[in-house]
Structure 1
């Protein structure tokens, strides 16, 4: 600066009052912006802040649950009884002659499922058959139910132990 003073003289410097004023105004403006953003997005530690919302998921635990499948089977059997349908569900190949005899003698339809039973599908069929066997025993008697179960290959629900 001393060299500039020698060459240009002492009057070459301008007043820095305007520059200082602009700097102070920019600092104040930036402080106002920062505080307004903190207030808007909850960055302050005030007492009225809300806790963050938790993600709540609803999980259907009845899928893959044998106990729930048995309950669904019982409910389906009750709706079928209201519609005057007597059916028994079994796994394995269907014997058409046997199914026809069951239908003619007792009015019971044998619903055969060709695929291998899974724990869930077996529980559904057990729950369904439990309600149907109770109704068959009520309508036709215990002897008819025993013969029907023996002829159809469906397991007797009273003799089966509950699965865990």
Structure 2
């Protein structure tokens, strides 16, 4: 895998515009940074898209925040709600949420930090710096997919 400006469709994640993420063929583990969660970078292992959940199993998905605009700082990866070791981690079953930095909000200050946790995303959304929308965007990742997180190895 290599770092690029997308999560590939081959791991059930399509281009994330300017968000650098790890690419992998289905089933091929990649131990390079691809997703931030709980303040750490994680690798990925591509698997498959999933059908939309029902009310009975929606809680079995974690949120993956996919950044959509070009105002992301260098090094910004997608951000996951939870990761291995977090009791709320659901094993890599994701519900995509599109995230966009606002011009009128945070970008007006000229400083865009790298976000590494859901808490970071929520803080900046509360401040009006981000707009978070459940679902994907054109040419973005599937709305629901499976992709376990793996420890980063140099």
Whether TM exceeds 0.5 here: the answer is no
The structure number with the bigger radius of gyration is 1
Higher relative contact order (CA 8 A, sep 6+): 2
- Bigger helix share: 1
Pick the TM interval, shorter chain.
Answer: under 0.3
Q: TM-score by structure 1 length?
A: 0.21
- Bigger strand share: 2
Q: TM-score by structure 2 length?
A: 0.22
